[in-house]
Structure formats: C-alpha cells, structure tokens
Amino acid sequence: MKVSNYLIVASLMFVPLAGCQGQPYKSNYEVKSNIEHLTPATFKQKIYDYSKSKEWKFVGDKPCIIDFYATWCGPCKAMAPTINQIAKEYKGKINVYKVDVDAQQELASVFGITSMPTLLFCPSSAKPEISVGLINRGEFDKKIKEILKVSL
C-alpha cells in the first residue's frame, strides 16, 4: 500500500458518524446547552433592536450575557461548561444567551465579532461591554458584579 493510501485510511478513522439515520451531527457543545440561542429576530425582541436605532437601548427585563461562539472553536468549547453553570446559578437574576456566529452572521456582523469566544455583558441601564477570549469563572463573577451589578 502506498503512503498516500495510508493517509486516506488514517484520515477516515477520524470522520465522525455524522448524519446517521438522517440526523445531523451535533457536538457535545451544542447538545448539552439549554441556553437560548438568539436569532436576529429574538435579539431585537429581547436585547436591542439595531434596525431601528443606532444608539444602544437595552430592551431586556434583566441584565444579560451573550456568548458569541462557533462550534469549531476550542476555547468556546472549553468555556461552555462555565457558561452553563453561570446560567443555572444566576437564573432569575440575569439572562444568558448564545449566538452561533456561523449560523447568525448578521448578528456577528452588527457587533463586529471576528474572534471567538466573544462575550457581550449587557447591563440594564448602561452600554454593554465586550470581553474577547477565554475567561475563567472568577473573571466571570467579577464582570457580572462590576458590569451587570449582580451578585450571587
């Protein structure tokens, strides 16, 4: 067998069994999260209607965190359990949402999202603040307290 044939066989060993029985492949990152995924329509209803106004006007009922992520992004996957934990622990105090930048390119474009993960911390009565890159739980709690003005 030629070297190129070995490479083809070896690469096939890592292909996930996606699409079996008509079901698309979903990573654990997508399946484990019970956090609402925003579309442009739900973003406009729950966060800010960027089509009506250039000036930020938060319309949500609670401060929120929006996780702009990609399913192929390693740091996004690493941060997902922390975000899920925050959503559970702060339930009723803040809302946590996700935006898949590949599926919702309009939202990524509106906010100029080019690096993942990007988190948008939206307080009720001030402009949002952006955090780019992987952050740990301590940093999350600090930002929630300082930006969103919420404590556990």
Which of 107, 128, 19 lies closest to 64 in space, CA to CA? 128
pLDDT, greater one: 3 or 64: 64
pLDDT exceeding 90 applies to what percent of the chain?
75
CATH number at residue 44: 3.40.30.10
Band (pLDDT 50/70/90 cuts) for residue 88 is very high
For residue 9, being part of any structural domain is answered with no
Contact 144, 90 (CB under 8 A): yes
* Residue 5: inside a domain: no
In sequence order, what are the beta bridge partners of 95? 64
Token digits of residue 26? 């979903």
Question: Is there a catalytic annotation at residue 76?
Answer: yes
Structural domain range at position 125: 35-146
In a domain, 85, yes or no: yes
Instruction: Tell me: pLDDT of 9 over 70.
Output: no
Does residue 12 fall inside a structural domain?
Answer: no
Radius of gyration in angstroms for the set of CA atoms belonging to the chain, rounded to a whole number: 18
92, part of any domain: yes
Span 88-113, mean pLDDT?
A: 96
Predicted pLDDT of residue 68:
98
Query: Would 58 be classed as within a structural domain?
Result: yes
With a cut of 50, say whether residue 11 has pLDDT above it. no
Cβ neighbors of 83 (< 8 A, separation 6 or more) are 33, 35, 65, 67, 96, 98
Predicted local distance difference test score (pLDDT) of residue 33: 61
How large is the average pLDDT for residues 131-143? 96
More confident residue, 15 or 139: 139
Give residue 32's pLDDT band: very low, low, confident or very high (50, 70, 90). Answer: low
pLDDT value, residue 27? 42
Average pLDDT over all residues of the chain: 83
Of residues 120 and 34, the one with the higher pLDDT is 120
* 25 within a domain of the structure (yes/no): no
In a domain, residue 138? The reply is yes
Is 20 tagged catalytic?
no
Domain count for the chain, please give it. 1
What is the model's pTM? 0.78
Average confidence (pLDDT) over 17-28: 33
